[in-house]
Structure 1
Amino acid sequence: MLAYQIELEAANRRSLADCRVGFDKDAIGGKFGAIYIITTSEDDPVNPKPGTLRYGVIQEKPLWIIFAKDMVIKLKNELIMNSFKTIDGRRAKVEIAYGPCITVQGVSHVLIHGISIHDCNPGKDGLVRDSPTHVGGRRGSDGDAIAIFASSNVWIDHCFLERCTDGLIDVVHASTEITISNNYFFQHDKVMLLGHNDKFTADKVMKVTIVFNRFGAGCIERMPRVRFGYAHVANNKYEEWLMYAVGGSANKNHLQRRKLLQSLSRRQ
C-alpha cells in the first residue's frame, strides 16, 4: 500500500509537466526520471553529497527533484543545472538565498516551480561541478536569481523572486522556447532582461512567453526589457513601476495583451 501511495504521489507531481504554456510547450523537465529527495541544505560546489540540491541538478539522467522539509539553501557558488531536471518546491517552503543562485547554461528541459529565490549575490572565481564527471573553472556569476544562457525549453513557474544583486531573471545568448509564468516579482530594480546586448544578433532566435505574473511593490524597470527575438507578454499584473514596465530595443518584437496596469508610481 505504501509503495502504491508513493508511486501515485510521484505521478501526481510529474503531471505538472503537462501544464506548461507558451513557447515552452514542449518542455518536460524530469518528467520521465526518478524522484530525487533533497534532505539537507548543505552545499559543496566541487564534491556535492547525495541528498543535496547540487548533487541532484548536476546528474546526467532525468530527475524530478522534491524537498523532504522546509529549508533555506545558501549556496557557496552558482548552481549549474544539467538537462532534464525539475525542481519542485511544492509541499515545502524552500528558499535559495543569501549566496549565488541558479545558472541554466547550455542545457534544455528545465522546470523550476514553487520556490523562493531572493537576496542573491555574485558567484566567486573558482571550481564548480556541472556534471558527475566534470568540474570546471568559473569566473563568477553576476548575482541573478536565475540566469539562462544558450538554453531551450525552460519553464519558470510559481516562484517568488526579489532583491538580487543583478537581475531577477536574465534570458540571453540565443536562449529560446522559454516560459516565465505565475511568478511574483518584487523589491527589485532591473527585473527581467531578454537579450544579451544591442549587438548580439544571435538573440534574434529567442522566443519567450511572459504570462500571468505579478510585478509588485518596489519594481522599477525591465518587466521585461526585450532585445531582438520575440516576446509574448500577456495577462500580467503591474502594481508599480518607478521608471517603466515593458521596454525594448535592437529590433525587438514583442506582443502585449491585457496588461493590468495598477500604477503606484511616484510619478503620479
Structure 2
Amino acid sequence: MAGGLKWVSLAVLGFLVVIGGGVALLGGLKDTQLLNSWNGGASRRYLREATVNDSASSPSPATRSVFGAVEDPDAVASTVAQTIVNSTNRRSLSYLSSCGTGNPIDDCWRCDSDWHNNRQRLADCGIGFGRNALGGRDGRIYEVTDSSDDDPINPKPGTLRYAVIQDEPLWIIFKHDMVITLKEELIMNSFKTIDGRGANVHISGGACITVQFVTNIIIHGLHIHDCKPTGNAMVRSSPSHYGWRTMADGDGVSIFGSSHIWVDHCSMWNCADGLVDAVMGSTAITISNNHFTHHNEVMLLGHSDSYDKDKSMQVTIAFNHFGEGLIQRMPRCRHGYFHVVNNDYTHWEMYAIGGSAAPTINSQGNRYLAPANPFAKEVTKRVDTEQGVWQGWNWRSEGDLLLNGAYFTPSGAGASASYSRASSLGAKPSSMVGTITSGAGVLSCKKGNEC
C-alpha cells in the first residue's frame, strides 16, 4: 500500500450484488469518502473492498462496515490481555524439552515426532496478540489434492480455493508438493488454517491471500512470493455467494478489517506491494517465525494517518528473520500498539522500523545489524513528521543488540507502564536471537521425525 495519503470525495458508490448468477446495482453510498494516494493505489483498494458482495441472507462486507469489521477492538484487546496472563505457567513448561531452542512457539510442538497426527495442536501454541487465533482447530482436516485455480467463481473440490471459502472450520493440508498460481485473490472465510507442513507449497506467480472481514485465521508453512495485482473479476468468498473485485495491490497476505490472525513460519519475497499488510481496524495479530527477503516495502500496519480506528490495532512481530534484499517497512506502523520482539534484522537499505500518526512501538530483545551505508545506520524512521511532534510518541528499545553502528532513536515516555498495551509476551535476551530464529521461514517437516 502506498504512503502519503490524502482524502478525496466520491459522490455515489454503488454495490454490485450477485443473485442467482445475475448482477444487480443496489443503491449507493452518498458522499462516501475514499482514500486516494498519489498513484491511485489506495483508492483502488478501498473501492475494491467496498464492492465485495454477499447474499441477501448474510450482510456483505460493505454493509457490515465500510470502515472496518472489528466491532469492539477494545473488547478483543481485553480478552487477549487476559489470556496472556493466564497462559504464562503453561508456556513455561514447554521450555523444558530437550530439543527446545527457547522459541516458545516451536518448543510447544516441534519436538513431537508425531506432529502429522497432531496437526491441530499447533493452534494451542500461538503467542502474542494473535495467540487466540483458532484457525480450523475445531473442524475437519481437508486435504488439497489439486493445485489448479481455473475458476474463482466455481472452484473444484480438492483445490485450495474450494477449502478456504467454506463456512465450516477447516484445517487445510496438502497431499504433496505443489505450486499454486492463483487466478484471483484467495478470499478466506473465518476459522481456517492453511498448514503447509509435510509438503513444499508455493503460492506464487499470480494473486495471493486476502483476509478480509473475517476472524480466526492461521497461515503456516507456505512459500508466498511473486504475487501480482489481479482483479476486475468475479470471485467467490463463500459457498453461497460471490462478488466483483476491483484491482488488488499484489500483497502476499492482505489483512483487512479482521481479527485473531496468525502468520507463522512462512517464507515470503518479491511481491508487487507488501509482504504482509494489515489495515482498516484489523487487530489481535501475530506475525512470527517468518523469513522475509528481497522486497522493498515489507510490512504496513495501519491504513492511513487519518484512519482513527487503527488506534486500537495490536500486532506482535516475533522471532522473524528480516533478511537479504530488504529495503524498508519492517514494519511501518500507524496509530496502534506494536510489540517487536526477538527478531533478527540482518539487512535493510533505508530503515527497519518506521511510523507515523503516533504509534506505540515496543522493541525488545531484537538484534539489529546495520548496513555498511553510513547514512542508513538508524533503525528507526518517523515518516513525514517534525521532531516537535514525534518526540512525544512512545518508542523504546529495551535489551536490543545494536551492531555495526546501528542505533535506535527512542522517544516519549520511558516508563514501562506506557507500553502495557504494546506488551504481549516476555522477551528473551538478545543473545538468544540467533538460536530462536534459526528455524525462521518454512520448515522441512517429515512424517515420523521431529519437525
Q: Same fold (TM over 0.5)?
A: yes
Map 1:116-155 onto structure 2 (within 5 A): 116-155=223-262
Deviation (angstroms), 1:262:
1.9
Show the counterpart of 1:26.
Answer: 132
Residues 1:253 and 2:360 aligned together? yes
CA distance in 1 between partners of 2:163 and 2:325 (Å): 34
- Tell me, yes or no, if the aligned pair for 1:236 and 1:260 is still in contact at 8 Å: yes
Deviation (angstroms), 1:25:
1.7
Amino acid at match of 1:16: L
Residues 1:37 and 2:143 aligned together? yes
Deviation (angstroms), 1:263:
2.6
Show the counterpart of 1:227.
Answer: 334
Amino acid at match of 2:134: I
CA distance in 1 between partners of 2:332 and 2:116 (Å): 37
Moved more, 250-259 or 49-58: 250-259
Number of residue-to-residue matches in the alignment: 261
Show the counterpart of 2:351.
Answer: 244
More strand by share: 1
Q: What secondary structure sits across from 2:118 in the alignment?
A: helix
Residues 1:61 and 2:168 aligned together? yes
Show the counterpart of 1:207.
Answer: 314
Deviation (angstroms), 1:108:
0.3
> For 2:270, which of 163, 174, 189 is the aligned residue?
163
Q: What secondary structure sits across from 2:268 in the alignment?
A: strand
Amino acid at match of 1:57: V
> For 2:123, which of 17, 20, 23 is the aligned residue?
17
- In structure 1, the gaps of 5 or more residues are 1-7
Deviation (angstroms), 1:264:
3.3
Amino acid at match of 1:24: G
CA RMSD of aligned residues (A): 1.1
Amino acid at match of 1:58: I
- Tell me, yes or no, if the aligned pair for 1:177 and 1:206 is still in contact at 8 Å: yes
Deviation (angstroms), 1:266:
3.6
CA distance in 1 between partners of 2:372 and 2:271 (Å): 21
Q: What secondary structure sits across from 2:122 in the alignment?
A: helix
Q: What secondary structure sits across from 1:189 in the alignment?
A: strand
Show the counterpart of 1:187.
Answer: 294
Deviation (angstroms), 1:9:
6.5
Q: What secondary structure sits across from 1:66 in the alignment?
A: strand
CA distance in 2 between partners of 1:111 and 1:163 (Å): 22
Show the counterpart of 1:84.
Answer: 191
What do the CA deviations read for 1:183-236 (whole angstroms, capped 9, x no partner)?
Answer: 000000000000001111110110100000000011000000110011101111
What do the CA deviations read for 1:108-164 (whole angstroms, capped 9, x no partner)?
Answer: 000000010000000121100000001110012100000000000000000000000
Query: Which structure 1 residue ranges, 4+ long, deviate > 3 Å from structure 2?
Result: 8-11, 264-268
What do the CA deviations read for 1:25-79 (whole angstroms, capped 9, x no partner)?
Answer: 2111000000000001111211100000000000000000000000000000000
- Tell me, yes or no, if the aligned pair for 1:120 and 1:164 is still in contact at 8 Å: yes
Q: What secondary structure sits across from 2:338 in the alignment?
A: strand
Show the counterpart of 1:110.
Answer: 217
Structure showing greater radius of gyration is: 2
- In structure 2, the gaps of 5 or more residues are 1-113, 378-451
- Tell me, yes or no, if the aligned pair for 1:95 and 1:117 is still in contact at 8 Å: yes
The sequence identity of aligned pairs, in percent, is 56
Structure 1-normalised TM-score?
A: 0.95
- Tell me, yes or no, if the aligned pair for 1:241 and 1:265 is still in contact at 8 Å: no
Amino acid at match of 1:41: S
- Tell me, yes or no, if the aligned pair for 1:33 and 1:62 is still in contact at 8 Å: yes
